[in-house]
Chains A and B, each alone.
Chain A
Amino acid sequence: MDLYRVEDRRLLTGHGTFLDDLSTVPNVHHAAILRSPYPHARIRNIDASKALAMEGVDAVLTGRDVAKMSRPFASALPRQAAYYSLAVDKARFVGEPIAVVVAKDRYLAEDALALIDVDYEQLPAVVDPEQAVIDPDAPILHEDVGTNVALHRTLRYGDPEEAFRQADVVVKRRLRFPKYGSTPLETFGVVAAWNAAEDTLTIWSNFHGPFSMHPVVAQALGIPSNKLRFIVPGDIGGGFGIKTSIYPYLALIGLASRFSGVPVKWIEDRQENLMASSSGTDRVSEVELAAANDGTILGVRMKIYDNVGGYFRPPEPGCTFRPLGNYVGGYSFRNLDVDAYIVFTNKSLTGPNRGYGCPHLYFGLERVVDEMAHKLGLDPAEVRRRNLIPKAAFPYRTPTGGLYDAGDYEACLDTLLETADYEGLRRMQADARQHGRLVGIGFAFGVDPSVSNMGYVDIAATPEERKRRRPKSGATQGTTIQVDDLGKVTVEISTTPQGQSHETMVRRHIAQELGIPEVDITVISGMDTATRSWTIPSGSYSSRFASIGISSAVVTARKVLEKLGRIAAHQLEADPSDVEYVDGNFRVKGAPERSLAFRHAAGIAHWDPASLPPGTDPGIYVTHFHTMPTALPPDDEDRVNSSNTYGFMADLCLVEVDRETGEVEVKKYWGVHDSGVILDHKIAEGQIQGSFVHGLGGAMYEEMAYDEDGAFLTGTFMDYLCPTFLEVPPLETRYVETPSPFTVLGSKGIGESATETVPACIANAVTDALRPLGIEVNELPVTPTKVWNWLQQAQSEA
């Protein structure tokens, strides 16, 4: 029986190759990491002598060694707030790596951790990003910066002052968005082997890109980039952006190997993962919206405090600026003011996490849109309709520089209202309210950016600062196809997938392009930077595959076919323009008897270069790097097309709140997606369902929680609450398919979509449910305790 995906057979039978399954090099030793128990502490001294005396222990690496052997990681904050792979002078969050033990096995390495004596001087901690900035007594994390503001940018588009002057109505809300992460089931894993004879460092890991982190690690380690080799296995156990931030450990375990003289393996355990891996930022914000009486949005102001934790590491401040091009969502307002602080606090570090910046953005924007509709006594669906960018306006340039490729937003809204029977829901709600039940209906709309433009990161700098640097741009992805002498095809992809079915999709589309059976194609995933084609943006992140990944594969296949066509034409003594390709055969138009099979054309390239047309190289080995011409650097007005394709989702959900217990039940959720041409509905559905549950987690269950003194409270999967089979409400999805003019197949990313709007949608629905009591949900997650407290408060005020 044929399986649905080419990946499935190995994964279903226990024959996948994940990082911890690899045989790498002989004599691999094992690392365990000592981590700070304190949120903020000076490290006076580390005495590892007892650990070193233990049988089976090879070495103990401390911050002092790391500071000698490496440089701080490069970031947008040059020469400040140095971030090394181990704490050097201070620990700045619970779980920060303090020392590494290398031992014969992991059990012994963990035994040795207990024997390391660290003399800490505890310091006061701060965890709230706003307080870290405005409270004059807040402890300063990085003395050389002198403030907890890592970065501050004010961005202004259109004429926001005028918009607010003209407004009939202004609503303003303070919002808190929590810190959470996608916690892939496979944690970080690294094997590093320093080869002293050749001065090379080979690192196996489940890193999923972008490979811009390769030069970052090479620079930190002070080794030539061509002496640093990254190898990634074909299977990665989930990533969701989180595994981008493995790179500090690539450096750390690389140093541990160099220091100890043996190859070293480190598998992050779940406790380490929860306290110190990576997560999205928590955000405190004030969002203010100006509107006319008919609900037309005139302008928006946002004040943002994004919490990057103890250090600032690339690709931050992506949390703030990755969605810059789509800051206006699906709406046509032109006036925007952004006052963004990226802040240090004593929490763990952040990085890309599914939706990167978008759940935060839409939580703010969609909350105030709803409050504006409420204030004007308008229906939230109608207010949104009034502001949607019309279909005829595409490609649409947003005030922040985004270039929306295509979309039919109003069709999405219509489909949503019809599918969910919106009027029926409102009648049902009215009836339920009559009976004292707290039933709510919420909306959230969002524009889903895919394929990040490498240029957006430069928004961290001012236009003046940018003028002194070389610009960044592009969104490149490469594919290599080789056809052997028997016409069998091997494809190397550089997308380092983590479950997104890239092998299946690439095989299917290359088979179509080459006109050969899928079984004749083998797709190789994973990566080896020393032997395979890659470039800075390679990898899987920002939902790149369905836009740039598949475009790259298809164009590469077309180049292969073009070369084979030339070879065939020469063989058939015809002009290439007279040769057509039908059913796996090149043949002369009008003379089908003059034909050459695909595999014979390939055979000539390998066995008989003498028969090749003049100027044609032997062999069939084609690498094509595909980029987007729309990925340009920011302009002088801070406008940037931060992504390259933009999907759209219109969400609606129905909730009920238990008055007695404060429990929220999401009874049903509807989502309509316009992500261009859907390449495979079953796989797209899987992506949406998965991203829906991540959004649900952030809205209701998951939080990396700290007490106000910086103690970390969610170090186990008993406290960090991932939704299970029983927490997932029914989701109904529909598609509007407006082809993207910017991609080869008209498709675009969809993997992050729902996760961006679900938190806002649930917050709006619970607010709607509690509207009769005057309660608004302006912070997440919505837990029973919180809701119950709000209910008590409302009762005592009533």
Chain B
Amino acid sequence: MKPAAFGYLTPRTREEAIEVLSRYAGDAKVLAGGQSLVPLLNFRLTSFRYLVDINRIPDLDYIRSEQGYLAIGALARHRSVEQSAEAARECPLLPEALQFVGHPVIRQRGTVCGSIAHADPSAELPALLTALGGSVVLEGSSGRRVADAEEYFLGYLMTAQQPDELLVEARFPKLPNGSGFAFEELARRHGDFAIVGVACAALPDGSVRLGVCGANSVPFRPLKAETAAAQGDLQEAGRLAAADSDPDSDLHATAEYRRAMVSKLVERAVRHALERKEGNARG
């Protein structure tokens, strides 16, 4: 299990990174934490002629509180975000979801933006970004653009990112004071990719936001379920979310099981989020 040969580039600035990405567009892949990419390279399930290692670019490792959102730089590791005071304060659902991402040593090296760019439909962070209506910032040779989560995730391991673009930042909307939230996940073992996972935020205005992973080729927001959840009909929310999902069968779970679990986990996540919201209101 040794990777195929590649050319290795270590840009020192984002401009340089974008320059090499556009020079080798289509042949180059960004290497950040490498926790998803390197296994695929070692299995030779994928290969790239060039790897562009962005770890030596100094200004990409940040967690910043901005107007309305938490900005996570391309080199911010899962673990830093998990332990960040800003994240705990502004978007506590993010550190909660991060508990389900791999194991601590993987999170020490893996990056939040890397998980998002990898776009595994079973992964937790894309579902969370989708639930909250977050976005990503992409920089490429034709400039900088912001893409909403729902337009960014296109399919299994597929995104709207262009080959010359670098995902420089992920933006997680802040949860207003008085929100409740929950992340529920079913996996064969702790730390495995989800069979099904559900992110839920119950906002002070009474609305509920949901994001589901493991039940479709992309993470998705079950909009009808959100409405039912906001009306307090948890079972209906679960049923509607299940109806909106289109899962596949695999070794670990059949499609029927996944769909049923979407229903149960949506119910559990909404209940848990509403309980916490109530607790917040009282506390």
Q: List 20 A-B contacts (CB under 8 A).
A: A106-B2, A107-B2, A110-B1, A111-B4, A114-B44, A269-B1, A270-B1, A660-B264, A661-B264, A713-B251, A714-B251, A718-B193, A719-B252, A724-B190, A724-B191, A726-B189, A726-B191, A783-B252, A784-B186, A785-B254
B38: Cβ under 8 A from any A Cβ: no
Interface residues in B28-45 (C-beta closer than 8 Å to A): 39, 43-44
With most chain B CB atoms within 10 A of its CB, the pick from A106, A713, A721 is A721
Interface size on A, residues (CB 8 A): 29
B260: Cβ under 8 A from any A Cβ: yes
CB contacts (< 8 Å) of A662 on chain B: these are: 257
> In the complex, are the beta carbons of A783 and B188 less than 8 A apart?
yes
Chain A residues touching B, majority SS: loop
**Binary flags per residue of A100-137, CB closer than 8 Å to B gives 1, else 0:** 00000011001100100000000000000000000000
> In the complex, are the beta carbons of B257 and A784 less than 8 A apart?
yes
Q: Given the complex of chains A and B, what is the CA–CA distance between A90 and B59 in angstroms?
A: 57
Q: Given the complex of chains A and B, what is the CA–CA distance between A783 and B188 in angstroms?
A: 8
> In the complex, are the beta carbons of A718 and B192 less than 8 A apart?
yes
CB contacts (< 8 Å) of B251 on chain A: these are: 705, 713-714, 719
A617: Cβ under 8 A from any B Cβ: no
CB distance from B230 to the nearest CB of A (A): 23
Q: Given the complex of chains A and B, what is the CA–CA distance between A270 and B192 in angstroms?
A: 18
A789: Cβ under 8 A from any B Cβ: yes
> In the complex, are the beta carbons of A721 and B192 less than 8 A apart?
yes
CB contacts (< 8 Å) of A269 on chain B: these are: 1
CB distance from B235 to the nearest CB of A (A): 12
Residue of A nearest to B257 (CB): A785
With most chain A CB atoms within 10 A of its CB, the pick from B5, B251, B261 is B251
CB contacts (< 8 Å) of B195 on chain A: these are: 784
CB contacts (< 8 Å) of A713 on chain B: these are: 251
> In the complex, are the beta carbons of A716 and B43 less than 8 A apart?
yes
A663: Cβ under 8 A from any B Cβ: yes
Interface residues in B175-189 (C-beta closer than 8 Å to A): 186, 188-189
Q: Given the complex of chains A and B, what is the CA–CA distance between A727 and B4 in angstroms?
A: 35
B253: Cβ under 8 A from any A Cβ: yes
> In the complex, are the beta carbons of B2 and A723 less than 8 A apart?
no
* Chain A residues in the interface with B (C-beta under 8 A): 106-107, 110-111, 114, 269-271, 660-663, 701, 705, 713-714, 716, 718-719, 721, 723-724, 726-727, 783-785, 788-789
> In the complex, are the beta carbons of A789 and B254 less than 8 A apart?
yes
Task: List 11 additional A-B contacts (Cβ < 8 Å) besides A106-B2, A719-B252, A785-B254.
Answer: A110-B1, A114-B44, A663-B186, A716-B43, A719-B251, A723-B189, A726-B189, A726-B190, A783-B252, A785-B252, A788-B260
Q: Given the complex of chains A and B, what is the CA–CA distance between A265 and B187 in angstroms?
A: 38
CB contacts (< 8 Å) of A718 on chain B: these are: 192-193
CB distance from A155 to the nearest CB of B (A): 36
Residue of B nearest to A106 (CB): B2
Residue of A nearest to B43 (CB): A271
Would you list the 5 A-B pairs with minimal beta carbon distance, nearest first? A726-B190, A269-B1, A107-B2, A785-B257, A713-B251
Q: Given the complex of chains A and B, what is the CA–CA distance between A110 and B4 in angstroms?
A: 8
Q: Given the complex of chains A and B, what is the CA–CA distance between A93 and B260 in angstroms?
A: 35
CB distance from A207 to the nearest CB of B (A): 22
Residue of B nearest to A722 (CB): B189
CB contacts (< 8 Å) of A705 on chain B: these are: 251
CB distance from A651 to the nearest CB of B (A): 23
Q: Given the complex of chains A and B, what is the CA–CA distance between A197 and B205 in angstroms?
A: 86
Q: Given the complex of chains A and B, what is the CA–CA distance between A701 and B4 in angstroms?
A: 32
With most chain B CB atoms within 10 A of its CB, the pick from A111, A114, A660, A701 is A660
CB distance from A123 to the nearest CB of B (A): 24
CB distance from B36 to the nearest CB of A (A): 11
Q: Given the complex of chains A and B, what is the CA–CA distance between A661 and B39 in angstroms?
A: 31
CB distance from B215 to the nearest CB of A (A): 14
With most chain B CB atoms within 10 A of its CB, the pick from A705, A783, A785 is A785
**Binary flags per residue of B1-13, CB closer than 8 Å to A gives 1, else 0:** 1101100000000
CB distance from B233 to the nearest CB of A (A): 18
Residue of B nearest to A717 (CB): B39
CB distance from B121 to the nearest CB of A (A): 15
Residue of A nearest to B2 (CB): A107
Known: A663-B186, A721-B189, A721-B192. A271 touches B1 (CB 8 A): yes
CB contacts (< 8 Å) of B260 on chain A: these are: 788
CB distance from B241 to the nearest CB of A (A): 15
Known: A663-B186, A716-B43, A718-B193. A785 touches B1 (CB 8 A): no
Residue of B nearest to A719 (CB): B251
CB contacts (< 8 Å) of B2 on chain A: these are: 106-107, 110
CB contacts (< 8 Å) of A714 on chain B: these are: 251
> In the complex, are the beta carbons of B188 and A661 less than 8 A apart?
no
**Binary flags per residue of B251-283, CB closer than 8 Å to A gives 1, else 0:** 111101100110010000000000000000000
Q: Given the complex of chains A and B, what is the CA–CA distance between A713 and B4 in angstroms?
A: 24
CB distance from B39 to the nearest CB of A (A): 8
